[in-house]
Amino acid sequence: MTSNEPLVSVIIPTKNSESTLEDCLKSIKKQSYKSLEIIVVDNSSKDNTKVIAEKYGKVYEKGPERSAQRNFGVSQSSGEYVLIIDSDMVLSENVIKSCVNTIRDQANYKGLIIPEESFGKGFWAQCKKLERSYYVGVDWIEAARFFQRSVYEEMNGYNEEITGAEDVDLPQRIQEKYGNNSIGRVNDFIFHNEQKISLLKTCLKKYYYSKKLDKYAKIAANKRNFAKQSNVIGRFILFFSNPAKLFKNPLVGLGMIFMKLMEFSFGAVGYVSEKLKNYRS
């Protein structure tokens, strides 16, 4: 490490992540930028997650949700910058180097978006890959993952009362205070391993996450983007903005549309059921 290479702390929350974690950690070790520390925060895994993690960095135990794990990981870290990733992500070789160079060159940047590309096995994974391809460069969907540590701490990190939407909540709160230009982006990608997607499981995940959306929507910094993020028609306008891509493989295109309709439906049920529950209480 030299004075020209500030330390970057890579924080990874895990729970039964043995199937993807090693590839994630290997991609960190292969980074062209070497001034790194790896911190894994596990949530009572029952598989070999901890055994794998201990070969690569520091391992802690914390729950109950990934927001708490991430915040705890940052509290145990030493980096000037923090990168928050999931255990099913693989970093391209120069992504951290690009983040450090970009955020040091642009004094107004407090956080950076790293674009994602999905991969996985099976039909629904191909549908998810197509969906995510539409989100690259869409600022009301993409979320920053690389932050100045001082700003992360100033914002008290991720909101632990929100699960699912905390990814976009934090950078939106940063933008509310420091302006829209406080969140920048790099061109290097993170590759998201969707593995083999179950349609039912991905819909149930949307149902679970949507139960916290009311809290998310009530935060002032989130109101503008929530109107876009929750707009089903707007999302499908985005998809149909490039019909050549959407129907390059007609079966995958139609499958992606069906998958999003199902996810939105389950999300709506979760959101409404939680609002009714809170109203009755």
Tens digits of residue pLDDT in 244-277: 999 999 999 999 999 999 999 999 999 999 888 7
Q: Give domain 8-280's CATH architecture.
A: Alpha-Beta Complex (3.90)
What percentage of the chain exceeds 70 in pLDDT? 99
Predicted pLDDT at 3: 56
Structure-block tokens of residue 223: 């109101």
157-215 residue pLDDT tens: 999 999 889 999 999 999 999 999 999 999 999 999 999 999 999 999 999 999 989 99
Q: Give the contacts of 217 (CB within 8 A, at least 6 positions apart).
A: 223, 226, 230
| pLDDT at position 2 | 47
Average pLDDT, the chain: 95
Give domain limits for the chain: 8-280
Cβ(188)–Cβ(119) under 8 Å? Answer: no
